[in-house]
Amino acid sequence: MPKHAKRVNIVQIKLVRENLLHYKDRKIKSPEDAYNLMKEFLGDVDREHFIVVCLDTKNQPACIQTVHIGSLNASLVHPREVFKSAILSNSASILVGHNHPSNIATPSSEDIEVTKRLKEAGSIIGIDLLDHLIICENEFLSLKESGQLD
């Protein structure tokens, strides 16, 4: 009995713009600039959101994506999901961030571990991870400035 041919899907992959956010400063020059953009994007959320900001070669944001929405105190993040929009938007680098609904900016061991994994993955594919911010209501913590991104 002859075997049937395997069907192979022919696909096209592209970014789909869902909305726009106007960023008046145009360029990310500091962790504080990144915090202000991420905080504006996140708004007032009640669960942990992990986001990626894709940057061009001039550190201008090209796109922002929510990669994962977690529970009240946890978020599972995989490098393939984080870098997907960065690859599709031809980004030179990325910033990542997530909020702590507890409003305590202290990084967990999971925060530090995911940062290391993202830095390694980025170096392999040629997209630099510039920083990972922990966002709270009135403050933030830059893992780069705190020495956790070296």
pLDDT digits (tens, 9 = 90+) for 87-102: 999 999 999 999 998 8
Retrieve residue 112's tokens.
């530090």
- Rounded CA separation 123/118 (Å): 9
- Rounded CA separation 63/12 (Å): 20
Is 70 exceeded by the pLDDT of residue 73? no
**Distances 51 to 1, 9, 66 between C-alpha atoms, Å:** 52, 30, 4
Local structure of residue 111 (DSSP, 8 states): H
- Rounded CA separation 121/82 (Å): 10
Count how many residues are written for the chain.
150
Mean pLDDT, residues 71-78: 68
Question: What pLDDT is stored for residue 107 in this prediction?
Answer: 94
Is 70 exceeded by the pLDDT of residue 23? yes
Mean pLDDT, residues 36-65: 94
Task: Write the CATH number of the domain with boundaries 31-142.
Answer: 3.40.140.10
Q: Give tens-digit pLDDT for 111-125.
A: 999 999 999 999 999
- Rounded CA separation 89/64 (Å): 10
- Rounded CA separation 36/24 (Å): 11
Q: What is the mean pLDDT of the chain?
A: 92
Question: What pLDDT is stored for residue 13 in this prediction?
Answer: 87
